[in-house]
Amino acid sequence: MNVPTTQHFPRNGSFSGSTDESTERYSGRRRDRRRRRKKRGHSTLKWILGLSGLGLVLVVLVCGVLFAMSVMRVRGELKDAAALSGTLYEHVMSGEGEEVQADLNSLASHIDNAHRETSGVLWKVAARTPYFRDDITAVRLTVQALSTVSLTSFKPLEQVCEQFSVDDISFSEGTVSLPGLQEASPYLVQAHDGLVQANSIVSMIPTARVNELQSALSQFATLFSTVEHGLAVLSQVSQLAPPMLDLDNQGARNYLVLSQTNAELRARGGMPGSWGVIQVEHGTLTIQPFVSVGELPWLDEPVVPITLNEELLFTDKMGRMGQDMNFTPDFPRAGEIAKAMWEQRFQQKIDGVVAIDPVALQSLIGIVGEVSLSDGTKLTATNTQQTLLHDAYVNKAVSDQDEFFAEVAGRSFEKIMQYSGSVLDLMRAFSDATSGGHVLLWSAYDSEEELLRDTQIAGDLETEAERPQIGVFFSDQTQSKMDWYLKRDVSILNVTQDEDGSKEYKVRIALKNLMKPEEVATTPAYVLGDLPRGLSAGQIDTAILVYAPVYGSIVRTVMSDSSEIDSTTAHEGLHVGLKKVTLDPGESFEMIAYIQSSSTVTAEVELIQTPLTLTADE
């Protein structure tokens, strides 16, 4: 009989005896297998991770090499594009139409290549890297701006070249000819609009960290600005010249010309000593005799209504006296007043007003040739400023001066009318004079004045946030010709930005009376002036007008003599401060004006001032 084996179960539930040893050996083998599998798993993971890391490094290296090669290609394309831009400008100015079209095609090819490169994945990824983000973004935006020009401006420019050539412009014996300009006008407008779009992209370009790159980008920004300005001028001329020169046969025009003398300062130049009219009919200019400003009577009442703020700043004399009608720095307003004064006195309709000073005249004489006067005086490219701003007042009898300056104005314009040389040279001289504020133009027609507005030749006060300006203007209070001796220096010393985005501009205004005390006794009384309000001989009395940019304000001022600003008010919606300064011979004065811009105005502020001229120390 079989007796069953008895199994003993200890309390802890494990087997005893031989069965326990077998179980232990089995469990050990299972643990070993798990350890071997785990070790193999760790080795596999390490191998995979190592291979992945190596692959990632290789990918980064390859991408880096490819990106570096792309950067070099973009650099080459941009370098070639910059060189071609200069050549294109030369060909445009010389009227070489075929060369212009070839330049445009080559330039478009370089721009397209650069745009294709910077639009790729590598550049998009690189633009997200922390350190070089701004550098990469700056390059991409520059290329994007160039591409915008290529797509929007090149085709219209090709049409312009087919319709019009600068080389076809002629000016001979007082007749202007601009064949094809009116037909090219719509295309010039389109081309300029493309440059405006491109400049809006350029304004978003961040500052690059790499100095060499930033220098190159700054050159491109300057190029964009220069070309945009040039196209703006051509576009405006193409729209203004036909009606203003009667090239569209809509009727003759009369333009009042004011010859200013900066020896007696006014805000936008000088006292308008000689007045004359140029008539334009079918492009032919005819000059009428100039007269002294003394021919215009001093009126009892302003010829046009004067606002309260104008009267506070300039007195009502700006509307009653021809000598003072340009106290205001807003030339369109001065033009309106001059037109009304002339029409009331001479019963002759005026269609626009031009102001010119001796600086512009000297520049133009340098092109058309010297001007000979009846007394033997010769005005040249080197002596015109000094003759008209100083020598004539010292050497001419007071009774002869009005006739002398009227002859200067008349014969100078006659000389210009007779010119038949290079039109481009004449245009460059005129452009240089305009950029310095030495030539101003106002049209009595709203549509034309709208096109002139905000240009350098307009001389208007900027009230738009897109073009903020700080203005510093000077007017003589001595009733003299002493401003030949007034040294002026205006500059922005420092700019700080607040957390809200507004900026504070530290503007320095420095004046010095260059007359030496010993010169007073030998200086003619007419030069020294009428000495109103108890002034002494040799003193210079000057009104300084400081204009804050649109929506901005004058925060505070610091004077070298510890005085305070005289008054502040508003003019054309702009905050303006007035300070009157009297300087003895050899004395200096300095004002520091702290001017705040608005946080809503993001455009860069431009500093403008009364046009500079030759002075006694030069």
Comparing 115 with 259, which gets the higher pLDDT? Answer: 259
Eight-class DSSP state of 1: -
**CA 216 from centroid of its chain's CA atoms:** 20
For 453, how many CA atoms within 13 A lie in the half-sphere containing its CB? 14
**CA–CA distances in Å: residue 163 to residues 179, 181, 508:** 9, 7, 49
* 55-64, 141-150, 223-232, 519-528: least confidently modelled range: 55-64
- Kindly give the pairing relationship between strand 606-609 and strand 567-571: unpaired
pLDDT tens digits for range 557-616: 999 999 999 999 999 999 999 999 999 999 999 999 999 999 998 888 999 999 999 999
Which pLDDT score, from 0 to 100, does residue 93 have?
61
| Ramachandran angles phi, psi of 616, nearest 5° | -60, -25
What token pair was written down for 598? 């608005």
- Banded pLDDT at 10 (limits 50, 70, 90): very low
Least confident of 144-158, 320-334, 485-499, 604-618: 144-158
pLDDT at 59: 43
Q: What is the pTM of this model?
A: 0.82
User: pLDDT averaged over the chain?
Assistant: 86
Residue 1's pLDDT is what? 44
Least confident range from 47-51, 493-497, 498-502: namely: 47-51
CA 67, 72, 75 angle in degrees (round to 5)?
Answer: 120
C-beta contacts of 91-94 below 8 A and 24+ residues apart: 92/166, 93/166, 93/424, 94/166, 94/167, 94/424
pLDDT at 23 over 60: no
Please compute the mean of the pLDDT values over residues 192-214 and round it to a whole number: 82
Distances (CA, A) of 423 to 30, 244, 397, 450: 103, 19, 38, 27
Q: pLDDT tens digit string along 41-81?
A: 555 545 444 444 444 444 444 445 555 666 677 777 777 87
Element (H, E) at 352: strand 352-356
Q: Which pLDDT score, from 0 to 100, does residue 173 have? A: 83
Q: Would you say 469 and 547 are in contact if contact means Cβ atoms under 8 Å apart?
A: yes
Q: Structural domains in the chain?
A: 65-242 (no CATH), 253-448 (3.40.630), 463-609 (no CATH)
Task: State pLDDT tens for residues 374-402.
Answer: 999 999 999 999 999 999 999 999 999 99
Calculate the CA 281 to chain-centre distance.
34
Ramachandran category for residue 238: left, alpha or beta (phi over 0 → left; psi -120 to 50 → alpha): alpha
pLDDT of residue 227: 79
User: Residues 6 or more apart from 466 whose CB is under 8 A from it?
Assistant: 603
